[in-house]
Structure 1
Amino acid sequence: MKINVVAIAKPETDCYARLCDRFVKMSKRYAIVKPVDLFNGKITRAQESGEREARKLYGELLEPWIGRGFTIALDPAGREFESEAFAKLLLDRTEVTFLIGGAFGHGDDLLRRCDRVVSLSKLTMSHKIAKVVLFEQIYRALTINHGHPYHK
């Protein structure tokens, strides 16, 4: 199984990135987990121009990833899952791609084109924290699906 986590975010080397890397490494036993951060000067300029321009550019950058396996967009308005139900989303899939939008989130067109729209929490959290939570939940889901006691 291959899991892509594609984020509109600057690559980081801070403590949050190290936590993400830890969960990626632990997940190797069950799946190939590939983090991809997309960021460039165009994003900075689009975000300064406003929400509409930023979301348009996010969509363009994420376009090649839509349809790579089962595609899941993270969005605050998405459906929340308990860990066991989240694990079922990954079960029996050969490839899953998670899409994390930029500061202004995803546009409606992108959300409609995804197989699922998921919310990690009703709480607002920074991208860095959201990524850590997502990578931990991916690892947890993989252990649930493989009968490993980590999730207990």
Structure 2
Amino acid sequence: MNIDIIAVGKVKERYLRDAIAEYSKRLSRYCKLNIIEVQDEKTPEHASEGVERQIKAKEGERILKHIKPNAYVIALAIDGKMLTSEGLAAHIAQLGLRGESHIQMVIGGSIGLADEVLRRADYALSFSKMTFPHQLMRVILLEQIYRAYKINAGEPYHK
């Protein structure tokens, strides 16, 4: 299985980069992982709704350039469906059984994803109704993908 993480912005903090590298290494025995970073837009303090829409549209165009026509796209969205770790594992396993060989997971920038990206997504996944820093979300997503593969392989993983 090929899994792409398409994420807006660069991860600046070393401790987050280290965690991303660690989970990427762990995942290498289960899937081919590719992390694609697209440039973020600077969001002014107290930006209007119109300015935020423009920013999301620009970031969305950059994201959509990396979306493959045959990929199954999962967008991380606060209004998406919440799953347990076992539920995500089952979803990934089901995709494999259906013959999906390329999953692309999309993490938006600090103000979220453009409507165009959400419309292209095959599935909207929410980790919580809370807001997380988009850089930290990469670590959380990678950990949950790793946990899903461990669950699907019947291997022990702490609960």
TM, length-normalised to structure 2:
0.85
Counterpart in the other structure of 1:14: 14
The structure 2 residue matched to 1:131, chosen from 130, 134, 138, is: 138
TM-superposed deviation, 1:13: 5.3
Encode CA deviations 1:7-37: one digit per residue, 9 max, x unaligned: 0112435101111111110011111111111
Gaps of 5+ in 2: none
The answer (yes or no) to whether the contact 1:11–1:37 under 8 Å persists in 2 is no
Counterpart in the other structure of 2:107: 100
TM-superposed deviation, 1:68: 5.0
The answer to whether structure 1 residue 69 and structure 2 residue 104 are counterparts is no
The answer (yes or no) to whether the contact 1:76–1:119 under 8 Å persists in 2 is yes
Runs of 4+ in 1 over 4 A off after TM superposition: none
The answer (yes or no) to whether the contact 1:68–1:96 under 8 Å persists in 2 is no
Counterpart in the other structure of 1:90: 92
Distance 1:95 1:151, change over 3 A: farther
Number of residue pairs aligned between Structure 1 and Structure 2: 148
TM, length-normalised to structure 1:
0.88
Counterpart in the other structure of 1:115: 122
More helix by share: 1
TM-superposed deviation, 1:72: 0.4
The answer (yes or no) to whether the contact 1:83–1:141 under 8 Å persists in 2 is yes
Encode CA deviations 1:75-134: one digit per residue, 9 max, x unaligned: 111111001111122221311100111122112222121100011112211112211110
Gaps of 5+ in 1: none
